[in-house]
Amino acid sequence: MASCPFLFTPRSPPLIATHRRPTLASRAHLPVSSRSRLSRREGCPCRCASSSSSGRDGPQERPPRSRQRKQRTQRPSRDDAIDPVGFLAKHGISDRAFAQFLRDRYKALKDRRWELHSRLIDLKEASSGFELMGMHRHRQHRMDFMEWAPGARYCSLVGDFNQWSITENCAREGHLGHDDFGYWTIILEDNLKEGQEPDEYYFQEYNYVDDYDKGDNGVDVEELIRRMNEEYWEPGEVRSQKSRLEVVAKLYEQMFGPNGPQTDEELGDIPDAETRYNEWKALQKDDSASSLPCYDIIDNGQEFDIFNVVTDRVSFEKFQGKSPPLAYWVEMRKGRKAWMEKYVPAISHKDKYRVYFNTPDGALERIPAWATYVLPDAVGKQSYAVHWEPPPEEIYKWRFGRPKVKGSLRIYECHVGISGSEQKISSFQEFTSNVLTHIKDAGYNAIQLIGILEHKDYSSVGYKVTNYFAVSSRFGTPDDFKKLVDEAHGLGLVILLDIVHSYASSDELVGLSLFDGSNDCYFHSGKRGHHKYWGTRIFKYDDVDVLHFLLSNLNWWVTEYRIDGFQFHSLPSMLYTHNGFSTFTGAMEEYYNQYVDKDALIYLIIANEMLHELHPDIITIAEDATFYPGLCEPTTQGGLGFDYWVNLSVPEMWLWHLENVSEHEWSMTKIMEVLVSINSNMLSYVENHNQSISGRKSFAEIILQKEKHSNSSVDDGLVFRTSSLLNLIKLITFTTSGGAYLNFIGNEFAHPKRIEFPMSSNDYSFRLANRQWELLDKGIHKHIFNFDKDIMSLDEKEKLISRGSPNVHHCDDTSMVISFTRGPFLFVFNFNPDASYQLYSVGVDEAGEYQLILNTDETKYGGRGVLKSNQYMTRTSDNRVGGCRNSLELTLPSRSAQVYKLVRILRI
């Protein structure tokens, strides 16, 4: 009290509330940095470090701050520049009920943010659960394990390290146990080696990475503490306390003497606080030897303000000149070599373990939800987690930085397991060695990986995820995956992950279903918690701890494995209680009726805000077949905040035409309506894994008709028909996309076989679970790959799909000709399978000379080479065609497309 006396009147709470102070229970699972920030915020309210003086002798009263100045210095509110219905006017949506739904959703979003931040401070803390959850080595000689299981009554770790004992390593009293939110903490103390003495100080830290640290220099800890006291504290400032009541007793003696009154009658009247303070202050005037800072409080009847604490200049400058003696604390920390000489790890690298729960329904053994590496059991019935803590010399060291995408996004979608030519599951190492260079040479700048998260059922393609923080062990180790990502970055390729937060596996032994014995831990209970058709579980998106898990999962892959973005898989499964299995008519009412899950929408908003706030260069893609309004609009304008959205109707449209409509009856108008109806931020693809995995055939297989046609027996007509049609479809899909294009592995060279994962229906065969890379240099497949490669390289050079939206000038169902412009480029397509056109008039707005830069009819693409070299440059005439002021007379062979570039402008 002598060092910092203060009197104040409590201030009423501000109108704009800041983050509520977390409860003691919630602080248990906050990172150390957060706890330290909390302790600083909850310290002495006088804020001595923020005080200042007027420079005169003795303390001077500071004039009170005006109310206007206080308002200016307050942190801006989240509500600034936010319009929950801002994107509606942009898209011409005038549905009042939907606008009201967006306003109600924004109110619920603010409540969810408040609830989330009340527990976890901010988005960074809310998405950093992996720093504490799961298994982590502490700076002291121990391992900390934390798990969330609110329905459990007892929690322990079992594994190789304790001979699978359910009682040896448990959450017990004295080791935190569990808090009010159901977070269990287990501490595994490292074992002393024989003949070693325990550390003298409980706070002794070790640096597990470096073999030598300052703490290994032999300086005695007592000597370091003495140096700290002499350097930092002033004489008389350090006072030892034997009891927490010692200060109270001394204050009592100071006020009432050694033999103070024992009853209320002896006590008499106590002077008011200000009188007692003035009397105490008068006693301090003659104490010139005191080195304590001279703080004072000026009480003029106004509201207490921590910035109005007054101190003298000498004390202020002395305080400002001091810094905590951190160097000495660092010098106390010993290195890894010292730890290895003294301790044996409680759990070693590659040890197997599981978490054991005692629940009202009995005992359970589970794979920890935050486990980072999971392997199947030897008998194949039960999996186990693997403690992954390689020694420093074996830790993967990153070599390359993250590349940035400039211009359009050209995505190569891959499944690692089927990426080899052999009939087996390919590994990360094989993919890194054999496939990465092909992707780079093919002209793509991004890789989208599916099936990376651990899943028990290989035939699910990786979509029935069991362990969200673990890479799939069937492909390799975590370090193998890090090398894959690093080598891709070295080639300039960004890595996107197909993340499945819309549902989870219902497996109860490996996954999260009934994790702690209760049915509502991670998932909704009842029908809402089960997918209607896929047998999977639906997350409880309104629960703070589930949000903590999902947000941390996103941040984990970016932080630990340097992932550059995510495609959020199958959003309809989470956005609607009918899981998207309903007929959509396009009516706005379908986007805000009783079947819409508002909590799932709020989660997606928070997830995008978190990712783009912590990682500004991140890429997020929405896979939503229902085209929910505002997918790629800013969250401040009522959108969901994605960077791109996948137009799933494009591949379905092509598939329907190939299977059900004769080529002579294709409607150019209907095709263009699907391709360019909503072009902004649109990711397009011709065919992806869904069409070849879901019991269907690949496009090449459909066009070639029968599997019996080998590459050598196909006649020239069928070769031309296949290559020309696939090239046409690929080019028009690519050039009408909204800045992003996706191709599934093998489709760049027209893989002739579908994909079929091993399952009971095919006797678990791998015959169709691979890629036939040997076809790259053969016949029709070589022609189609040459064309695909040239498209990608042309976009890399000319930025074809990064120049605004397509401007369609001509679309004729009779002639089956389409033409449109995009910037200085003209695209002309002749889908007619029989008719070729000489001097076909195509309208253009800009008069000038146009050069042919891409022609699908070239022989290297499987075409017939009708156009000659002298036809590669053409000049406009002033004939008006299709509403355009100028036109070109072009030769259009059947089933061909041409791309022209305006190289010279003619002014008339």
Q: Coil, strand, or helix at residue 23?
A: coil
**Which letter does DSSP use for residue 138 in this model?**
-
42: annotated active-site residue: no
Contacts of 819 (CB under 8 A, 6+ apart): 808, 809, 810, 811, 826, 827, 828, 829, 842, 843, 882
Q: How many helices (H) and strands (E) does the chain have?
A: 25, 32
User: Distance between CA 811 and CA 815 in Å, rounded?
Assistant: 9
Q: Which two tokens stand for residue 100?
A: 């009201």
Angle between helices 668-676 and 716-735 (to 10 degrees): 40
Q: 367 and 466 in contact (C-beta within 8 Å)?
A: yes
Q: Which two tokens stand for residue 209?
A: 């990475």
User: In angstroms, what is the C-alpha Rg of the chain?
Assistant: 35
**Which letter does DSSP use for residue 739 in this model?**
S
User: Distance between CA 451 and CA 244 in Å, rounded?
Assistant: 57
User: Distance between CA 794 and CA 791 in Å, rounded?
Assistant: 5
**Range 588-618 burial, b when 16+ CB lie within 10 A, else e:** bebbbeeebbbbbbbbbbbbbbbbbebbeeb
User: Distance between CA 457 and CA 99 in Å, rounded?
Assistant: 42
Q: 529 and 520 in contact (C-beta within 8 Å)?
A: yes
User: Distance between CA 440 and CA 491 in Å, rounded?
Assistant: 7
Q: 550 and 609 in contact (C-beta within 8 Å)?
A: no
Angle between helices 544-561 and 96-120 (to 10 degrees): 80
User: Distance between CA 237 and CA 239 in Å, rounded?
Assistant: 6
User: Distance between CA 161 and CA 157 in Å, rounded?
Assistant: 9
Q: Which two tokens stand for residue 188?
A: 């595994």
> Which residue of the set 147, 609, 623, 633 is catalytic?
623
User: Distance between CA 498 and CA 485 in Å, rounded?
Assistant: 14
Q: Coil, strand, or helix at residue 409?
A: strand
Q: CA 597, 602, 605 angle in degrees (round to 5)?
A: 135
The closest alpha carbon to 791, from 410, 448, 491, 439, belongs to 410
The closest alpha carbon to 503, from 454, 465, 549, 538, belongs to 538
Q: Measured in whole angstroms, how far is the alpha carbon of residue 783 from the centre of its chain?
A: 39
Positions marked active-site: 623
